[in-house]
A and B are shown apart, each in its own frame.
Chain A
Amino acid sequence: MEDSFQHAHGFLQTVVLLTLFLPLISFALSIIISYRYAWIVSISAPLFLLASAVCATIALFSQWNAPDVLMKFNWFTLGKDVFSADLLISNLVLLMLFVVALISFLVHLYSVGYMAGDKNIKRYFAMLGFFTFSMQGIVLSDSLLVLFVFWELVGFSSYLLIGHYSESINAGRASKKAFILNRIGDIGFLVCLMLVWSNQHSFNIIEIVGGEPSEWKTYASLCLFFGVVGKSAQFPLFTWLPDAMEGPTPVSALMHAATMVAAGVYLVIKVFPFFTPVTLEVITIIGLVTALIGGFSALAQFDIKKILAYSTISQLGLMLIGAGASMPEAALLHLLTHAFFKACLFLGAGAVIHSLHQAQRQAHAHFDAQDIRCMGGLSKKLRWTFATFVVSGASLAGIPFFSGFLSKEALLTSVWMQQGYFSAIVFLGFAIVSVLTVLYTYRLVYFVFLGESRMVKELPVTEIPLIMRIPLTILAVGSFWFVVSWSPFDFSGWLFEYSKTRAPIELTIGSSVIILVTLFFSTKIYRSGVAHTSDVLRNGFYVDSFYNKVSLYALTPIYRATLFLDRKVIDGGIHFSVYAQVTFAHVVAWVDRQIVDGLVHLVAGVASGIGSLIRSFQGGKIQHYVYWAVFAIIIFLICVLK
């Protein structure tokens, strides 16, 4: 087994280890420095991360398409069993290593501007460094046990970062929720570890992925996938991600869009041969359900970050569909492109919020700086941000000539090539999600940057500082098609050449047409929507009136059919479909709130119920203690004696 792997030579080992440990050094330095010199951290941390990113780049170019390398480290020995902490270096790992290092560096850079003046900046950069270290640990480690350790560390640093604004009650609640839901998923991971160990007596991925599918593998991989569900915010454990938006925006960009939530998908790709057909079907179903829920929910949100959060959930679901359709390469491709454009979108959103906050402070105005209903027309004031936002948004929407188009193409191809009714349904669902993506992306862009200025009209909004613009620009450039391949319509470019799959020409044309048509209609919907409700805008009740108007149309179709036989029919049809979608989105949100959250409450309630039942025996009277104990013995005896 081991002979097929080349052993690491000194140079590669040094570079990879540097990539891994430089963020940890940054963390240590940020901890050590005293509060008085906290400003040093905001210089040193990005520098360390830059070094780490450079190392990752060197590793990527020196080892790209070379045979896989295994770096062996023995952790400890228990009797005969050797627990190793091996690091595996393959194309997949190198690519991910590079993406994490680069985006983490850019987020660090951005944070220097965004977090300037925060009193806990030391802790912030420390945890950011620590998070990057743990994430790179997940990327590199070849042992499931070590991977689990880093998995937990990632969850822990996320817990601390979500709760960064410690004065906010919501932040505390959100961080707790994220942590607990992740832990629930981790039970699955733990059980998988036990199953793997008892069946294979090894935790090394390269040793366990081989072999025929068997029953225990189905169970183990289902358990593992349950862990992924927790970390990658899939149905039914996705509710923590929208709440996690209470954290600082750069954190959301790094963790809750580009890297941490992608760790689950990455794990699926990494141990892909381990999954059995049954598990793959489950993965597809869960991915599809999540993608639909996320897409619909994104339509009904008004918080700029929550829209992006639900969009992330939806995109992660799409990645899992690709993995479930036996094409992990497609999932990886989407993971990479998504990392770039979603990070860019989040940082752009952060830029909007940041400049609005600044402006509010100057003008002493008070409104929710994250509510898109308050914005509008910002494109003239924040030109640079607008440009990057549109580029990355176009990539998210999957418009041709952008990277998102290509990666979605790859995912679609993977579903297309499957046979049977099941995959037809999946394909249909995928198409719906793609349409939804265009809709909510356009809605977001329109509400924030286009249209007329609402609350921000009078505000002296100014462009963000240069240090924040640099990361935005780099990420926006990374959202174009040439990141994936040289041809804007063929995803089998330089990143994807190890796969011989190509998209059918009809698929490419069909999807481009659908997306462009949807884009066209969405410009119609929102433009007309705003026109219809321009009188209501003053009251700030845009949605309610919009619903009223549309439902009036929907409830009197005959009246409308006789009266508007011209193009208003089309208009009405679109309105109707929008109405249905919005209703559905609300139903989904309700299910999310009542059923999933209710489930968490139910579990907590049952636990405290059992607790108080048991504690009722503990009434403080010693003689009661004695007789309860004696009764317990008697009951035990009667049970055993029969």
Chain B
Amino acid sequence: MIEALPLHILSAFLFATGLAIVIIKRNAIVVLMGIELMLNASNVNLIVFNRMHPSTFDGQMFALFVIIVAVCETAVGLAIILRVYRFYKTSVPDHIQELKG
């Protein structure tokens, strides 16, 4: 049977990579991709843990709902990015900094 360890490492690395993308990449849409990666990292966790506690479907169900939420976030997020693009003519998050202090 399969071991849990590589899957745990996979989820940890996916999460860290997602975080790195969010902080490093200078494009709002790529930042969005990083967020998707972070969500998927928790999905991997949830499904693996569901195998550890097989009496219910809790983990898998949670994963399903996470996917739904991710879709909603993407939709709203892209809409917001598009509008900001209309005002600022850029999708680089760092250039959008009129509010500060």
Contact = CB atoms under 8 A, between A and B. Distances in A.
Interface of A: 615, 618-623, 626-627, 630
Given A619-B100, A623-B31, 19 more contacts: A618-B100, A619-B97, A620-B97, A620-B98, A620-B99, A620-B100, A620-B101, A621-B93, A621-B100, A622-B93, A622-B94, A622-B96, A623-B22, A623-B93, A623-B94, A626-B22, A626-B23, A627-B23, A630-B23
B82 interface: no
Contacts of A626: 22-23
A626 B19 CA distance: 9
A617 to B, nearest CB: 10
Contacts of B24: 623
Nearest to B19: A630
A407 B100 CA distance: 62
A621 B23 contact: no
Contacts of A627: 23
Interface of B: 19, 22-24, 31, 93-94, 96-101
Interface of A: prevailing SS: helix
Contacts of A618: 100-101
Contacts of A630: 19, 23
B81 to A, nearest CB: 12
Contacts of B93: 621-623
Contacts of A623: 22-24, 31, 93-94
Contacts of B19: 630
B51 to A, nearest CB: 27
Contacts of B94: 621-623
Nearest to A624: B94
Contacts, number: 28
Contacts of A620: 97-101
Nearest to A615: B101
A38 B37 CA distance: 72
B78 to A, nearest CB: 16
Contacts of A621: 93-94, 97, 100
Nearest to A622: B93
A86 B87 CA distance: 64
A76 B94 CA distance: 55
A489 B66 CA distance: 92
A618 B97 CA distance: 10
Contacts of B99: 620
Nearest to B24: A623
A618 B100 CA distance: 6
A166 B99 CA distance: 35
A94 to B, nearest CB: 57
A51 to B, nearest CB: 55
Contacts of B22: 623, 626
Nearest to B25: A623
Contacts of B96: 622
Nearest to B97: A620
A620 B99 CA distance: 6
Nearest to B28: A622
A620 to B, nearest CB: 3
A620 B98 CA distance: 7
B15 to A, nearest CB: 11
Contacts of B23: 623, 626-627, 630
Top-9 shortest CB links A-B: A620-B100, A620-B97, A627-B23, A622-B93, A621-B94, A621-B97, A619-B100, A623-B23, A623-B93
B37 to A, nearest CB: 14
Query: Chain B CB within 10 Å — which of A619, A620, A623 has the most?
Result: A623
B8 to A, nearest CB: 18
A626 B96 CA distance: 15
Nearest to B34: A626
B38 to A, nearest CB: 11
A613 to B, nearest CB: 13
A619 B96 CA distance: 11
A642 B98 CA distance: 39
Contacts of B97: 619-621
Nearest to A627: B23
Nearest to A619: B100
A623 B31 CA distance: 9
B44 to A, nearest CB: 20
Nearest to B93: A622
A272 to B, nearest CB: 51
Contacts of B101: 615, 618, 620
A626 B20 CA distance: 10
A633 to B, nearest CB: 11
Contacts of A619: 97, 100
| Most chain A CB inside 10 Å of its own CB: which residue of B31, B98, B100 | B100
Nearest to B99: A620
Nearest to B22: A626
Contacts of B98: 620
B91 to A, nearest CB: 12
A627 B21 CA distance: 11
